[in-house]
Amino acid sequence: MTMTKQLTLKEKWLQDRPFLEEIARFHEVIETILDQVPFKVEKMKNLDAAKDEFNRGIPVLKCEHVTVPIFEQACQALKALTSLADYKEVPEPFRASCSSLGKVMEQDEAFIRAVIHSLMNEDYQTLGEIIEKHQLNEGIIWFLGWTALSYVLQPHLSELQQWERQQSWNREYCPTCGALPNMAQLKRSNKGRKRHLICGCCRSQWLYKRMGCPYCKNEDPNLLRIMEINEEEDIRVDVCNSCNSYIKVYTNKGEEEAALLDWMTLHLDLLLKERGYVKMGTHLINI
């Protein structure tokens, strides 16, 4: 049911933004591959065991006292994604990288587990060493690893977020995985509109102050600006002139499944880059 709705909404977005067709086809292939991975959703244990760590600022996936059961599933999903090498919809350099990645996985059984483990624990030193050892493309490992992790995390996300909302997080990084946000949404509440940040890696959402840069924590109103963009009436851009960054904010509701996907508004990133702004945060696709 949701699938049909999502397709229709995405199709509608793409009709208005034909230049995104190629990247949309690429994402369709990814969805097709992942839908075929037969993985078992295990029940999460009581998250309250993580309460102390979480309230000290440790994201759930890194809390020692609770394990979200997605590790094995993410390894399976990552392995499946190397078959992107076989699809003509996938750009050539990317296909070549997937194919070398597939070969490394065949030769080195510990490889997939090490990649997923480092991504989940933000252990970038180990990840860097693995990548260097096998001479792989870092951006692609990052993209595929997080695509796999976020896919297997989705069945747990509403329970996780419900728990996270009961605590008070209010930090600039993701309460689930620790990444910096890549989009935001303004949502109506009985106390006016509130700004929610959205994680580009695991797709969690969390409440954050309405004014203030999530990248450098600048709160000086003279250095913060809201930019309206002619091309997209439901997206505004919150700009920070202290660190020269920006975050795209969806200001409407109802079209979240398209509007909150970073790549659906990649044209705005190009526009902002031309104006000298830097895309910060953790993104799966860097331009």
Determine whether 190 is exposed, middle or buried from the number of CB atoms within 10 Å of its CB (0-12, 13-18, 19+). Answer: exposed
Please identify, using beta-carbon distances, which residue of 34 and 199 lies nearer to Zn ion. 199
Stretch near Zn ion under the rule CB under 5 A, chosen from 7-15, 176-184, 190-198, 246-254: 176-184
Least distance to Zn ion from the beta carbon of 246, Å? Answer: 9
Tell me how many residues contact Zn ion (CB under 5 A): 15
Site for Zn ion in 218-237 (CB under 5 A): 218
Least distance to Zn ion from the beta carbon of 174, Å? Answer: 3
Q: Is 174 in the site for Zn ion (CB under 5 A)?
A: yes
Least distance to Zn ion from the beta carbon of 218, Å? Answer: 5
| Residue-wise DSSP of 103-153 | HHHHH-THHHHHHHHHHHTT-HHHHHHHHHHHT--HHHHHHHHHHHHHHHH
Candidate list 146, 163, 173, 215; residue touching Zn ion; CB under 5 A:
215
User: What are phi and psi for residue 198, nearest 5 degrees?
Assistant: -125, 130
Q: Is 121 in the site for Zn ion (CB under 5 A)?
A: no
| DSSP designation for 185 | E
Least distance to Zn ion from the beta carbon of 102, Å? Answer: 27
Q: Is 177 in the site for Zn ion (CB under 5 A)?
A: yes
Look at residues 163, 253, 242, 238 and name the one whose alpha carbon lies nearest to residue 208: 238
Look at residues 151, 166, 176 and name the one whose alpha carbon lies nearest to residue 68: 176
Look at residues 31, 53, 39 and name the one whose alpha carbon lies nearest to residue 156: 39
| Residue-wise DSSP of 245-268 | EEEEEE-SSS-HHHHT-GGGGHHH
Distance CA 17, CA 13 (A): 6
Q: Is 282 in the site for Zn ion (CB under 5 A)?
A: no
Least distance to Zn ion from the beta carbon of 173, Å? Answer: 8
Least distance to Zn ion from the beta carbon of 210, Å? Answer: 15
| Residue-wise DSSP of 6-57 | HHHHHHHHHHH-GGGHHHHHHHHHHHHHHHT---PPPPPPPGGGGHHHHHTT
Site for Zn ion in 187-206 (CB under 5 A): 199, 201-202, 204
Please identify, using beta-carbon distances, which residue of 24 and 199 lies nearer to Zn ion. 199
Q: Is 66 in the site for Zn ion (CB under 5 A)?
A: no
Please identify, using beta-carbon distances, which residue of 183 and 213 lies nearer to Zn ion. 213
Please identify, using beta-carbon distances, which residue of 97 and 205 lies nearer to Zn ion. 205
Least distance to Zn ion from the beta carbon of 29, Å? Answer: 24
Interacting residue ranges for Zn ion, rule: CB under 5 A: 174, 176-177, 179, 199, 201-202, 204, 213, 215-216, 218, 240, 242-243
